[in-house]
Structure 1
Amino acid sequence: MRLHILPRLGRKTIGQITASDVKRLRSGLDGSSQLPNRFQRLGKITAGCGHRTNEAIAVSPVDMDRERQELIIQRQLKWVRGHGWCFALPKGRKIRRTPMSVENELDAQMREHPAVKVTLPYYDRRNKPAERFRPITVELLFSREAKGEIKFINPKRFNEWEWKRALVDAGVIPAPAREKRGEYQAARDDGPVALRHFFATAQIDAGESVVDVAEWMGHANPLVTFRRYVRGRVGAGDRGRAATDILLAGIVTAAKAVWNRKAV
């Protein structure tokens, strides 16, 4: 509501909202469908597993733990000054696991766009200077095609070009006067991170523990997750009310039984 609905419809009364308004809003909320086919599932994995963009771009088939139905988040693409794009541990330098709720989408991606081997330096500042940029090869699930070659996805370019073009197509931001870097309107609240917010909100609303969601998202502290995503919800109190009714009913029944025994 706060990020996507109120900014577009909040100033209108119910009578002023038209069918075209609803269609435009729905299109904007499903921005991943406006992406080129090669990138569409990149948005779905972020919404389904809570990745940061740099982490989602670096997902490999070997990260899929099918037995435990979990996705291992163990690397990201990181820009290091003087060395360019490198593989690195996720933000906070912590490997984590998240529920793999988009397994079918990942399998479909592998069928339609086979994983590509990419060799880049692996940056780890904890190593000795001579060992901080050792090259490794990773099979990446998501890639891009440029001049007939298949390459890794540049996160900055993805955000600035593919994602913002999708926002323009969805009617979320206006088209720029010319397609040039920096010409697109700023869209902080509608960036790929909005899909990560969706993941957290959906998990918490479904009843998952804030502590678990914080772990899946890679937050340093569950308080960060709590402050950002825990809000009052429609129907709040239903489960507590039902539990209290059952508990009190049991107490009343027990009290009556005791009273009846005393009366006898």
Structure 2
Amino acid sequence: MRGAPGTVRRVDQAVRLHILPHLGEVALRDVSATVLRGYVATLEEECAPRSARKVLMLLSNIFETAIDDKRLTRNPMRAKSVRWPKVPAEEREAWPLETALRVRDIINPRYRIAVVVALGCGLRQGEAFGLSPHDVDFERGVIRVRRQVQLLSGRLYFALPKGGKTRIVDMPRSVADELASHFLEYPAVEVELPWGGPEPEREKRAFPLLLTTPHGNALRSNDFNDHAWKPALAKAGVIPMREPGQRWKASRKDGFHVLRHTYASIILEAGESVVTLARWLGHSSPTITLDHYAHFMPEAGGKGRAAVDALLGVVPERTPEVLTLT
């Protein structure tokens, strides 16, 4: 299978744990709707609905490949009687801006810029770790997101951003100022890692990175989360302080990715278009952005009312405040 190393591993795990034990001995031609209805029921006992749907999508893709290879004439997963588990609607949660700024100001100063580029430009954690001074265009006011640092099986490597696509994001003046200060305080360090996967035989590439450990190494997400991110959350009152010898008690919603959700909420509440936000976030379609963040959009009809009021000479009572990261 081709794809990102992490994706390949997850697919392999899903096949081994959830498909082969139940359908591995069933011939393709014998996988009927009846068989699949029983399989779905079993899968719902093993997995949460969202995980179960991912396994079923993988299985459906396997059947589609079999159709392409003339081994099947139809995809049994498409039978109307084969009902996939329903997943409850999940809205992305953002932090209040005050909370995000408090964490920014509390975190180890060496890693403050990671919070700034996530909150101010929507970068993912791995993209922040892979950011180089060469990616920052102060003249045009943009950041070119060209790579990320990934961790798999304990080994670091460079890879293209999620989806295999680079992108350009707008860089607000507040972010540019923070980056300029960071460059002076923490000069970039050149780091060499395999490209495209953690295997030692992979081609190695070197880039000067904005974010490194004090020893000049690329950041590992697990180490950063345990030694920089979660302690900052605790000091900011977001999560409880850790007892000696105990693990951090932090939920998934308070992971580093919450800064990206907060960025999206700020942009949409300011009235920016979904198409523009989708491009800055690196989503393949504005539909994905809407699915994730529609609840952050201002009340429908507000702009239309304002346009009609302007046409008819009605003066607004007040000017909306503009959110800044300062």
In structure 2, how many angstroms separate the alpha carbons of the residues matched to 1:142 and 1:70?
18
Deviation at 1:230, TM superposition (A): 2.1
Unaligned runs of at least 5 residues, structure 2: 1-91, 314-326
Structure 1 pair 232–220 and aligned structure 2 pair: CA distance change class (3 A): closer
Deviation at 1:27, TM superposition (A): 5.3
Which residue of 89, 105, 113 maps to 2:186?
113
Which residue of 229, 233, 255 maps to 1:167?
233
In structure 1, how many angstroms separate the alpha carbons of the residues matched to 2:302 and 2:274?
19
Which residue of 122, 125, 139 maps to 2:195?
122
SS at match of 1:137: strand
In structure 1, how many angstroms separate the alpha carbons of the residues matched to 2:203 and 2:143?
25
The two structures have a TM-score, normalised by structure 1, of 0.74
Structure 1 pair 28–99 and aligned structure 2 pair: CA distance change class (3 A): closer
2:251 paired residue number: 187
1:177 paired residue number: 243
Is 159-168 or 238-247 further displaced after alignment?
238-247
Deviation at 1:133, TM superposition (A): 1.6
In structure 1, how many angstroms separate the alpha carbons of the residues matched to 2:279 and 2:268?
13
SS at match of 1:185: coil
Contact 2:122 2:260 in 1 (8 A): yes
Q: Is residue 2:287 matched to residue 1:214?
A: no
Percent identical across equivalent pairs?
Answer: 36
The two structures have a TM-score, normalised by structure 2, of 0.61
Deviation at 1:186, TM superposition (A): 2.5
Aligned ranges 1:221-240 → 2 under 5 Å: 221-231=285-295, 237-240=301-304
Q: Is residue 2:144 matched to residue 1:72?
A: yes
Instruction: Give deviations 1:24-71, integer Å, cap 9, x for gaps.
Output: x95576212111110112101110110000100110000012332110
Q: Is residue 2:171 matched to residue 1:100?
A: yes
1:153 paired residue number: 219
In structure 2, how many angstroms separate the alpha carbons of the residues matched to 1:227 and 1:78?
26
Aligned residues: 220
Deviation at 1:164, TM superposition (A): 0.5
What is the aligned-residue RMSD (CA, Å)? 2.8
Unaligned runs of at least 5 residues, structure 1: 6-24, 250-264
Deviation at 1:157, TM superposition (A): 1.2
Task: Compare relative contact order (CA 8 Å, sep 6+) and give the higher one, 1 or 2.
Answer: 1
Q: Is residue 2:212 matched to residue 1:143?
A: yes
Structure 1 pair 234–93 and aligned structure 2 pair: CA distance change class (3 A): closer
Contact 2:183 2:210 in 1 (8 A): yes
